[in-house]
């Protein structure tokens, strides 16, 4: 069995300080490929610095909406430059977060539009972060029409209605360990209706360890097996068959080599 963690923050200190060991344990658990995601200039640079160190490690560069009000044109230009690296397979994460509003909403919207334009210019998929901002996120994406090649909503927790809207647009959805949480019935209902050809899995590590080890403070790619087991159960599928199909979806979405 092999799985791909489609959204990890392997440059964050909690992970980066023991990355060799963490990825070794990940492979042992059946999670054999990873995408490490940039969130700001510091981490975008780190992403590019580590992706050549491991065969099945790829990256995305972007700027999290939390940092929109502090983002400069130089930061945006760097995303454009780093996106030329052959192992950078997506722009992200990027989007809108109106839950925390750590940055002004207009600044978030402006940054989101600029990063989507980079994705369009580079013909790269986009990894979307959207929290309490679904309608505005969809409106901005729709304004780009067919210019954006592929879109995935990461760390999905939307309603069944929102899930169907995303699927009807032809977009993809990625689930974290939240789907295992006792209070996440809405996320489980969404997982039931997402077809495997539109579904990916992620840890969003070092955050959100899945049940039954939710209390483990540092989530790692190895723990994604619990997310896979839960959704395979929801789909009434053998784990191996489920893993094979979502891995194929992830490889196709990010144009990764198939092993």
For 123-149, write each residue's pLDDT tens digit: 999 999 999 999 999 999 999 989 998
> Cα dihedral sign for 167, 169, 171, 174?
negative
Burial class of 33 by CB neighbour count within 10 A (0 to 12, 13 to 18, 19+) = buried
Burial class of 170 by CB neighbour count within 10 A (0 to 12, 13 to 18, 19+) = exposed
Q: What are phi and psi of 246, to 5 degrees?
A: -70, -30
Supply the DSSP symbol for 7: E
pLDDT score recorded for residue 215 = 79
What pTM did the predictor assign? Answer: 0.96
Mean of the pLDDT values across residues 174-186? Answer: 97
Per-residue pLDDT band at 216 (split at 50, 70, 90): confident
pLDDT mean across residues, the chain:
96
Supply the DSSP symbol for 33: E
Reduced to 3 states (helix: H, G, I; strand: E, B; else coil), residue 214 is coil
Judged against a pLDDT cut of 90, whether residue 214 lies above it is answered with: no
**Contact 26/220 with Cβ under 8 angstroms?**
yes
Q: Where do the domains of the chain lie, and which CATH numbers do they carry?
A: 3-253 (3.20.20.140)
For residue 232, list its beta bridge partners.
none
């Amino acid at each position: 069995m092999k799985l791909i963690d489609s959204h990890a923050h392997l440059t964050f200190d909690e992970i980066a300080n023991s990355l060799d060991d963490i990825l070794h344990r990940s492979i042992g658990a059946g999670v054999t490929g990873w995408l490490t995601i940039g969130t700001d200039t510091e981490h975008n640079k780190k992403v590019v610095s580590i992706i050549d160190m491991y065969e099945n490690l790829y990256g995305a560069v972007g700027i999290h909406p939390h940092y929109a009000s502090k983002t400069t044109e130089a930061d945006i230009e760097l995303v454009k430059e780093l996106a030329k690296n052959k192992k950078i397979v997506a722009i992200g994460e990027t989007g809108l977060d109106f839950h925390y509003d750590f940055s002004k909403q207009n600044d978030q919207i402006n940054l989101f539009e600029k990063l989507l334009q980079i994705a369009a210019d580079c013909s790269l998929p986009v990894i979307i972060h959207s929290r309490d901002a679904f309608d505005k996120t969809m409106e901005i994406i729709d304004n780009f029409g067919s210019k954006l090649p592929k879109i995935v909503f990461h760390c999905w927790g939307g309603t069944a209605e929102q899930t169907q809207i995303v699927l009807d647009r032809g977009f993809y959805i990625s689930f974290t360990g939240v789907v295992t949480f006792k209070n996440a019935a809405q996320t489980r209902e969404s997982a039931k209706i997402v077809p495997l050809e539109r579904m990916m899995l992620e840890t969003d590590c070092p955050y959100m360890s899945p049940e039954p080890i939710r209390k483990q403070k540092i989530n790692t790619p190895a723990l994604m097996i619990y997310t896979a087991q839960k959704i395979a159960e929801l789909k009434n599928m053998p784990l191996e068959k489920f893993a094979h199909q979502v891995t194929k979806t992830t490889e196709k979405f990010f144009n990764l080599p198939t092993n």
